[in-house]
Amino acid sequence: MMSALTAALGAVLLVYGGGWYLGYWIGNFSLLLFVLALVTGAYWVAERFRFAPARQAAAEALAAQDAQRRAGLAKMGIEKVDGDIEAARHRLLAQPWWLDWTAGLFPVILAVFLLRSFLFEPFKIPSGSMIPTLLVGDLILVNKFHYGVRLPVLNTKIIANHDPKPGDVMVFRYPVDTRVDYIKRVVGVPGDEVAYLNQKLTVNGKPIETRADGDFYEEDSMRYVPRFTEKLGSVEHRILVNPKYTPFYGPDPKTFPMAEACRYSAEGVVCKVPAGHYFMMGDNRDNSQDSRFWGFVPDQNIVGRAFLVWMNFGNLKRIGSFD
C-alpha cells in the first residue's frame, strides 16, 4: 500500500514539474519545496519510529529463531548446522525503495528549503531589462535576509533588517502576478517623487548624475546602444539609454493600485512613491517593463537583494559581485 501511495505521489510531482517546465502553468518552487519537506518529513518520522523498529524487530526475531534452532540441534549432538541467516537478515533490515526516495531525501530537502528560504536563493536572468548590469543567462544569488527575515511561502516579514535603498538591485514578486519573480533596481523609496521625463531621471527634484560611458553592443539586436554611468544614492552603475528611441507611456489613467500617485504625459511619468512601496526601474531603460508601466512594489512582495553572479555558462568572466 505504501509503495503504491508513494508511486502516486511521485506521478503527481512528475506531472506538476512537467507542466511547469512546458509552460502549461506557473510553478511556485517555494511552495513545492515546503510540501516536499512536509511529505518526506512525515515519511522520515514514520521510518524512524515505526518502519525501522519493525524491521529491526523482525531481524531480531529471525536471529532468535535461528539461535533456538541451533541450540535444539546442539542438545541432540549436532554441532554443524547448515544455513546462514545473514543474507535474510540484511534483506529484512534493508530500507524499501519508497522509503529510500522519501525519508532518505528528507534531510537534503529540508536543508535546501531552509537555505533557500532564509539565506540565499538562486535565480536565472530571463530577459534583457537589466542590461548592462545583468545579462540574459546570468545565474545570480539573492540575499534573503538583507531586507529582513520572512516566513517562507507566506513571505510575511517577522524580523526587520535593512530597508531597500536607491541603487539596490532587488528581486520581488511581480505585483501584477505574484507567482512571477522580477528583478529591477530601486529608484524611489517611500516618500520620494520620481520623474522620468524625456529619458532623464529626477528624484525629489534633483537630476540623477549621469555621464557618457561609450557604447554597449547588444548581441541579440546586433546594434550599439549608448551606455551611461549613473549614480543612485551611493551606488554607481551603468545603464543603457538610446536618445533616438521615443518611449510611449500611454494616456491617463493607469489601472494599477494607487495609480493616482502618478501623472503621465507624452514626455514620461512623475510618481509620488506611497508609504510601504518602492519605485523600480530596469537598467536597460528603453527595454524594461517596470514601475513606469505597472506601478509600485509593496514591501510584502520583496524577495531579497541580488548581489552576485555565480555562473554564466556562456561567459565565465561574468562571475563576480555587481552593483
Provide the annotated active-site residues.
Answer: 129, 184
Q: Which of 288, 287, 257, 283 is nearest to 175 (CA)?
A: 257
Specify whether the CB–CB gap between 51 and 3 falls below 8 A: no
Specify whether the CB–CB gap between 11 and 106 falls below 8 A: no
Element at 113 (helix H, strand E)? helix 106-118
Local structure of residue 81 (DSSP, 8 states): -
Specify whether the CB–CB gap between 59 and 210 falls below 8 A: no
The dihedral region occupied by 3, where left means phi > 0, alpha psi between -120 and 50, and beta the remainder, is alpha
Specify whether the CB–CB gap between 302 and 113 falls below 8 A: no
